């Protein structure tokens, strides 16, 4: 004989069907219960804290069912997909039967049960002294959100079909409220991830990309086009930081990078990545920009000025100072948001990136070195002088040092 053969199920109601209790004239108790029931959606919607919502659901459930003395609410954890106890009356002794929970979830029905005798009932029913009660799944848009149950320890307690209808209606409201809370949490979490992703973009561009993301237009994928790349690198960084405490090195990088990134953002650039003590920035992506070349060179000059300001501040307090070399190049890259929808990263790929790194390597401390390809777009705006970059395997590169704006 199975453990639940001595449990009598007196009424079943399909959790998918409309279970709204009907209004009965001249029944004050029923009218009071209906009024409480109709107020529940607004009450549930007004609770911001998820754990407070769980408690309120169970409190209102017990309040609406006259014979209910105790109750419990179990919710399916959105991460692990398993039922977990979230509220109970009393708090320290939840009145639940796993056998009856499985019946409610598996059959997606609400039901009234009663104990027939002292033999072969489940251990939980026997230990908790349960005599009768009701179970109902929390069902919303075809998905089970959890299970709620109430019970009584008295033989005289009677649960009726009307009680079950009230219970299923409350369970429906509760399921909608719980699903909405989880949706809001998911939106907040996704927005946090998105905000972190977009920290590499200037505030103006960040707003445009957020708008695209909200409309589902920010999708994985790349495109090929000509962009302007800027790479900066701290000269002699390894030698400079040898023997320094790691916390001091991090503090120094953060101070310099904050000023350098601000200069990039002020000229509508995008920070592609930080590579140790180097910064790779992009102009003309992810949004096209007809003035990208000039903005990139202006950003480089602003970065050199920012380094001077930071160095003056650090000198006054006796801190280590350093200088950067900056290289810029204009050419075709594959650029865009690469990865899965739940983990996108903006990046640029192509030989232009490698060539930009060569110009960065060729720039001395405090120098800004641009390629001939970039110079052809900005020649009239800046005073420059030629500089050759020798390489081991690629021959000499011709470059131009930017001295100042004309």
Domain chopping of the chain, boundaries: 7-190, 201-405
Q: CATH classification of 201-405, choosing from 3.40.50.10490, 3.40.50.620, 3.30.70.1230, 3.40.980.10?
A: 3.30.70.1230
Q: Quote the CA–CA distance of 378 and 383 in Å, as a whole number.
A: 10
Q: Is the pTM of this model over 0.75?
A: no
Helix locations, 234-367, DSSP H: 237-241, 246-266, 292-316, 351-362
Residue range 347-373, pLDDT digits in tens: 889 999 999 999 999 999 999 999 999
Decide: residue 291, CB within 10 A, 0-12 exposed, 13-18 middle, 19+ buried: middle
More confident residue, 394 or 331: 331
pLDDT grade for 191, boundaries at 50, 70 and 90: low
Alpha-carbon gap, residue 225 to 161, rounded angstroms: 69
Above 90 in pLDDT, residue 328? Answer: yes
Alpha helices by DSSP H, listed for 1-153, are: 28-45, 50-64, 98-107, 123-128
End-to-end CA distance of the chain: 96
The rounded distance, in Å, linking the Cα atoms of 373 and 359 is: 12
Give per-residue pLDDT as tens, 253-295: 999 999 999 999 999 999 989 998 999 999 998 888 999 999 9
DSSP state of 201: B
The CA-CA-CA angle for residues 277, 280, 282, to 5°, reads 160
- In 3D space, the residue among 367, 373, 238 whose CA is nearest the CA of residue 292 turns out to be 373
185-188 contact pairs (CB < 8 A, 24+):
185/50, 186/78
Reported as a pLDDT band with limits 50, 70 and 90, residue 149 is very high
The secondary element (H helix, E strand) that includes residue 75 is strand 70-76
Whether 2 shows a pLDDT value over 50: the answer reads no
Q: Which of 72-81, 128-137, 198-207, 395-404 has the lowest mean pLDDT?
A: 198-207
Mean of pLDDT over the chain:
86
- Mean pLDDT of the 202-225 span: 71
Q: Per the structure block, which two tokens stand in for 165?
A: 């209808």
Measured CA distances, 279 to 168, 230, 264, 274, 284 (Å): 59, 8, 10, 5, 17
The superfamily (CATH) of domain 7-190 is GAF domain (3.30.450.40)
């Amino acid at each position: 004989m199975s453990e639940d053969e001595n449990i009598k199920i007196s009424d079943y109601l399909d959790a998918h069907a409309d279970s709204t209790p009907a209004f009965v004239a001249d029944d004050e108790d029923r009218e009071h219960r209906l009024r409480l029931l109709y107020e529940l959606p607004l009450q549930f919607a007004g609770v911001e804290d998820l754990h407070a919502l769980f408690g309120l659901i169970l409190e209102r459930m017990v309040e609406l069912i006259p014979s209910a003395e105790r109750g419990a609410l179990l919710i399916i954890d959105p991460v692990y997909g398993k039922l977990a106890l979230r509220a109970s009356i009393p708090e320290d002794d939840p009145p639940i039967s796993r056998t009856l929970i499985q019946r409610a979830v598996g059959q997606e029905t609400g039901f009234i049960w009663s104990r027939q005798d002292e033999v072969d009932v489940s251990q939980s029913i026997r230990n908790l002294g349960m005599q009768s009660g009701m179970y109902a799944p929390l069902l919303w848009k075809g998905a089970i959100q959890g299970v709620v149950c109430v019970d009584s320890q008295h033989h005289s307690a009677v649960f009726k079909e009307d009680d079950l209808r009230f219970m299923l209606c409350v369970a429906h409201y509760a399921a909608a409220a719980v699903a909405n809370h989880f949706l809001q949490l998911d939106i907040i979490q996704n927005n946090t991830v998105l905000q972190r992703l977009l920290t590499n973009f200037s505030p103006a561009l960040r707003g445009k990309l957020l708008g695209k993301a909200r409309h589902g237009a920010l999708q994985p994928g790349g495109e090929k086009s000509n962009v302007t790349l800027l790479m900066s690198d701290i000269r002699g960084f390894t030698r400079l930081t040898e023997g320094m405490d790691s916390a001091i090195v991090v503090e120094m990088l953060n101070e310099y990078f904050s000023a350098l990134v601000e200069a990039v953002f002020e000229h509508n650039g995008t920070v592609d990545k930080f590579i140790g003590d180097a910064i790779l920035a992009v102009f003309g992506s992810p949004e096209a920009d007809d003035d990208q070349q000039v903005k990139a060179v202006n950003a480089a000059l602003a970065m050199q000025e920012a380094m001077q300001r930071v160095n003056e501040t650090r000198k006054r307090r006796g801190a280590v100072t350093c200088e950067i070399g900056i290289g810029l190049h204009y050419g075709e890259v594959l650029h865009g948001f690469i990865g899965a929808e739940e983990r996108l990263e903006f990046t640029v790929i192509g030989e232009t990136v490698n060539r930009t790194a060569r110009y960065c390597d060729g720039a001395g401390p405090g120098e800004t070195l641009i390629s001939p390809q970039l110079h052809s777009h900005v020649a009239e705006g800046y005073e420059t002088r030629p500089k050759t970059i020798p390489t081991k395997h690629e021959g000499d590169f011709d470059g131009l040092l930017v001295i100042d704006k004309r």
